[in-house]
Structure 1
Amino acid sequence: MPGKEHSEVRDEHHGQHGQHGEMTGRTTELGHPRSDLLLLLVGTPLVGLLLGLAVPRLARWASGSPVLPWRDGIQFLGRLDAPWQVGLFVAAGFVAGVLLVLMAVSEDMRLKLTDEQVHVGQDGRSRTFERADVSAVFLDGRQLVLLGTDSGELVRGVPAPRAAALAEAFRAHGYPFRDADPHASLFHRWIPGTPDLPAEVHALLAARRAALGRKAPRDAGDLVETVRGLGYVVRDEGTEQYWRPLAGS
């Protein structure tokens, strides 16, 4: 449709190409929109290449500042302007750009939808959820969230497709895609020691805060699962943790 950007679609039975994800019969695979992939695959390595080319010149310009830290090292970089040295900078910048693209693509949530199941690939793990076990799907900022029948989070992560493509695909397969979290009003900011939570949950949230502080998202995610087992849902807003009880708890 003119004026819209979506992911690629392919119908395996008819060989047709279109929009909104890659569709095979009644299976929709959601990935990066073509425009985003083009920007990532071409733009990021190109920026790295240009930065590598500019390193000696930028270093010479920056070395004139009297308050610059690591001034000796920056002045050394500014003297590396022989053609083969500049070539090394360019190659390093290009390789760094390619690595950034590979990291960005590998960390994105990958989705495969059918009318009966949703398959989620994330952080090197693959999980499958039955349609009947999904009570709500919504976007929390840039993160896609699937809730179970107990209102607990089944999965949370940043997907590659655009919001409109996600909503259209989930709704086409009969999933309850919502405009917002249907339980948002039940969340409370976590205050250590509040009597509203058991001591065990306080200990887990304190451990999760420490995990987030040391940049350990896998550990933080595992703690969310443990907290859910005790009857609570956890989410983040900025640097603060928020919690609510599971529906019926």
Structure 2
Amino acid sequence: MDGAPGTRTTVSGGVTELVVLWGGFPLLGAGAGALLGASAEWVADLPWAPVQGLFEALSRLPQPELTIGAAALGVLAGGLLASAGTAERLVVRVDRERVGLRRDGRQRDVPRRDVRVVHVDGRDLVLLDEDGGELVRERSDLSPDRLRAAFGNHGWPWADEDPHRAAYRLWVPGLPGLPVGADALLRARQDALTHNRRDDARELRRELGRMGVVVRDEERRQYWRLTARAVLPDADHPTPAAPSDAFLGKRDDAEA
């Protein structure tokens, strides 16, 4: 049954995730710091120990002040990690008219009318438009079952797998069939993936999307497909057909 008008479903990691972040990381940090402080003198006597000069300096400090101070610093480091993890959490709020996605203090709303289908690709929540382009690709640890229920209860079209998955091709430098300039962007993006520059890779994905090229990653290898709005230099390469409504299980407009 569709969600009632005006109601909204929220999908997030919930209280459990916050407890793990704010309880686990500071606790682990305290334990690691205390162990470091307590074992400084012992490690300083090991000739093969790394950064031995640091441990020798620490071993000259009085106990138990060293252990207590190191534990406190561990708690602080754990708190910083917990804060970063909290900011990186994806929160999804769905109703019949739109979906809101919040991460790192930034909010993005996508109207229902712009979305053809919703699916999960590995750990990524993906929203596709009528041309097969990606409106949203957000990585998270949210439960696919909870996402499916949230979108389905409000009448959004859900697919259990990527309806375009068979259209992807492994990117090889210089491979024909891409819009002009796309190969250069894919080269730059491959370099960003190799060197773990996630922000650059994300921005290059958006640039490729504007050209009608959708990219998905598998073990730092890029796979690509074209959308219906891609413009190719050679008319002999037709654009792919949209997936059928039967496959998508698309609902009647009145339901949406």
The alignment's TM-score, normalised by the length of structure 2, stands at 0.79
What is the letter of the counterpart of residue 49 of structure 1? A
Is this contact kept in 2: 1:108–1:158, CA < 8 A? no
Counting only pairs closer than 5 Å after superposition, residues 105-116 of structure 1 correspond to structure 2 as: 105-116=86-97
Counting only pairs closer than 5 Å after superposition, residues 49-60 of structure 1 correspond to structure 2 as: 49-60=30-41
Structure 2 distance, partners of 1:207, 1:27, is 40
Deviates more, 1:41-50 or 1:156-165: 156-165
Shift of 1:80: 4.0
2:108 to 113, 127, 135: 127
The aligned residue for residue 136 of structure 1 is: 117
Q: Does 1:101 align with 2:85?
A: no
The aligned residue for residue 67 of structure 1 is: 48
Higher relative contact order (CA 8 A, sep 6+): 2
The aligned residue for residue 207 of structure 1 is: 188
**Cα shift readout 1:101-129 (whole Å, capped 9, x = no counterpart):** 11111112222211010111235432211
Counting only pairs closer than 5 Å after superposition, residues 1-249 of structure 1 correspond to structure 2 as: 26-63=7-44, 65-80=46-61, 82-159=63-140, 161-247=142-228, 249=239
Q: Residues 59 and 213 (structure 1 numbering): CA distance in 2 closer, same or farther, change over 3 Å? A: farther
Structure 1 distance, partners of 2:14, 2:29, is 22
Shift of 1:74: 3.1
Structure 2 distance, partners of 1:77, 1:181, is 55
Deviates more, 1:181-190 or 1:126-135: 126-135
Shift of 1:219: 2.6
Structure 2 distance, partners of 1:81, 1:189, is 59
Stretches (4+) displaced over 6 A: none
Q: Residues 80 and 236 (structure 1 numbering): CA distance in 2 closer, same or farther, change over 3 Å? A: farther
Q: Residues 102 and 216 (structure 1 numbering): CA distance in 2 closer, same or farther, change over 3 Å? A: same
Q: Which protein has the bigger strand share? A: 1
Q: Residues 243 and 235 (structure 1 numbering): CA distance in 2 closer, same or farther, change over 3 Å? A: same
Q: Residues 169 and 70 (structure 1 numbering): CA distance in 2 closer, same or farther, change over 3 Å? A: same
Deviates more, 1:130-139 or 1:214-223: 214-223
Q: Residues 239 and 58 (structure 1 numbering): CA distance in 2 closer, same or farther, change over 3 Å? A: farther
Structure 1 distance, partners of 2:193, 2:135, is 20
Structure ID, larger Rg = 2
Deviates more, 1:24-33 or 1:183-192: 24-33
User: Structure 2: 5+ residue runs without aligned partners?
Assistant: 230-238, 240-256
Q: Residues 89 and 210 (structure 1 numbering): CA distance in 2 closer, same or farther, change over 3 Å? A: same
Paired positions, count: 227
Identity percentage of aligned residues: 37
Is this contact kept in 1: 2:116–2:128, CA < 8 A? yes
Q: Residues 201 and 85 (structure 1 numbering): CA distance in 2 closer, same or farther, change over 3 Å? A: same
